[in-house]
Structure 1
């Protein structure tokens, strides 16, 4: 796969697995590409792929990522949500979107870890995503890796056009995001829930679907502080990635 301009991110993803204390027994992931009225989990034993992008080179529609699903893990996720009074559903036909299989092709290329995808609320409610993450924190004790994928900057109009108008704004928001993610958990969560007050927040995220998975990850982090593990300037915009625990 060619990643012009994204080499540092590719290298970061390719090195992710070796930073883990052990191989995960399963993965629960929220991406910025699935919104539903209530939290919904994939329940298929063999989830297909959803090529939810347009106008890309032909070979990108032939990519394969045959990771298994796990109906048992999906049921456990639903049970935890319901125990916390969060209504939820399962979807036996939904596959993995490109917000999952593209980074996972690099991070977990053997595709031998069961993957469950979890939707975000169509209401784009930061508090809801954090609450969902908090409900699923116990999964970590069972060696389940919780992953959130999105982008710390997602103004595609400026990003894809190469417009420099928001270059400095992206740095300001990225600095706020790092300081927030690395703060003590109580302060971190409070700041994340008020993310729209951050400098340049709505310029960097005209629509917040690519930021809200971070709220899910922070909720699942419990008392663990965050650390920035990826940082780069891509096409003039500051981008970051974070890890909790």
Structure 2
């Protein structure tokens, strides 16, 4: 059965492993991620995760059968640098991903050492807390060209019929300076409104995404677009399918509008 694809806003740092106000600030996001597996046609055989927190010169695939952890954040409690998400890797899927990328004429590489970064494990912990679904992580390509990442998604589309759930993990608004100085509310609202209008209809969606910098408040929402590019992969892998908002809140961390989207 064909799996949908998702662009997920993944929240800040190691929030699933924290308590108190910071964890509570992610309550709506956590509930959406916990509910996601029940919306799928069947339990995935594996997950292909494209995280905003990994960039390489070629699209690089994690090949380890037992990936470790990458604590790519700072300033959090000591225990968050010891947490583990013990999902197995899937070397066979990794090789399938490399083959699909290369068949599309795109550059591919392998990495046997990379561990799960927080863009990956912070979405996976609420979804599959038992870590019982194999996970392969895939990098973005440096240069962050939208067309390249849409093309990557198109190349990966056959995996949807092979039991693989494709997840793009980033954030619909990612400007930490504006987020923390209280100036992010208006640009996050404006850019989110553009996403809500641009993503549902498949006709012309790729063209709209390639021209994302023309959207209202685009460069305020994404001063650097690495947190938006996983959306291009998810949309490219479901190019003919309608999109819908799967998570939305207007007060993330005290004032940011944030969303996630499903395709197919």
Write the deviation string for residues 193-245 of structure 1: whole angstroms up to 9, x where unpaired: 10000000000100000001000100001311110010002121110000011
Cα distance in 1 between the residues matched to 2:186 and 2:178 = 12
The partner residue of 1:169 within 187, 210, 218 is: 187
Aligned to 2:85: 65
Cα distance in 2 between the residues matched to 1:4 and 1:59 = 18
Cα distance in 1 between the residues matched to 2:209 and 2:196 = 11
The partner residue of 1:118 within 122, 127, 138 is: 138
Question: Structure 1-normalised TM-score?
Answer: 0.96
SS at the partner of 1:81?
helix
Aligned to 2:221: 204
Deviates more, 1:56-65 or 1:97-106: 56-65
Deviates more, 1:27-36 or 1:152-161: 152-161
Number of equivalences: 242
Write the deviation string for residues 56-112 of structure 1: whole angstroms up to 9, x where unpaired: 011211211100001100000001111111120110111110100111111111101
Cα distance in 1 between the residues matched to 2:90 and 2:188 = 38
1:4 aligns with 2:24: yes
C-alpha deviation, 1:178, in angstroms: 1.1
Q: Which has the higher contact order (CA 8 A, sep 6+)?
A: 2
Cα distance in 1 between the residues matched to 2:188 and 2:121 = 26
Cα distance in 2 between the residues matched to 1:60 and 1:121 = 28
Question: Any stretches of 5+ residues in structure 1 without a counterpart?
Answer: none
1:15 aligns with 2:55: no
C-alpha deviation, 1:186, in angstroms: 3.1
Aligned to 1:236: 255
Cα distance in 2 between the residues matched to 1:99 and 1:135 = 22
1:178 aligns with 2:202: no
Cα distance in 1 between the residues matched to 2:33 and 2:180 = 22
The partner residue of 2:180 within 160, 169, 179 is: 160
Structure 1 runs (4+) greater than 4 angstroms displaced? none
SS at the partner of 2:245?
strand
SS at the partner of 2:25?
coil
The partner residue of 1:33 within 50, 53, 61 is: 53
Pairwise CA RMSD of aligned residues? Answer: 0.9
SS at the partner of 1:30?
strand
1:147 aligns with 2:164: no
Question: Any stretches of 5+ residues in structure 2 without a counterpart?
Answer: 1-17
Structure number with higher strand proportion: 2
Cα distance in 2 between the residues matched to 1:206 and 1:229 = 24
Question: Structure 2-normalised TM-score?
Answer: 0.90
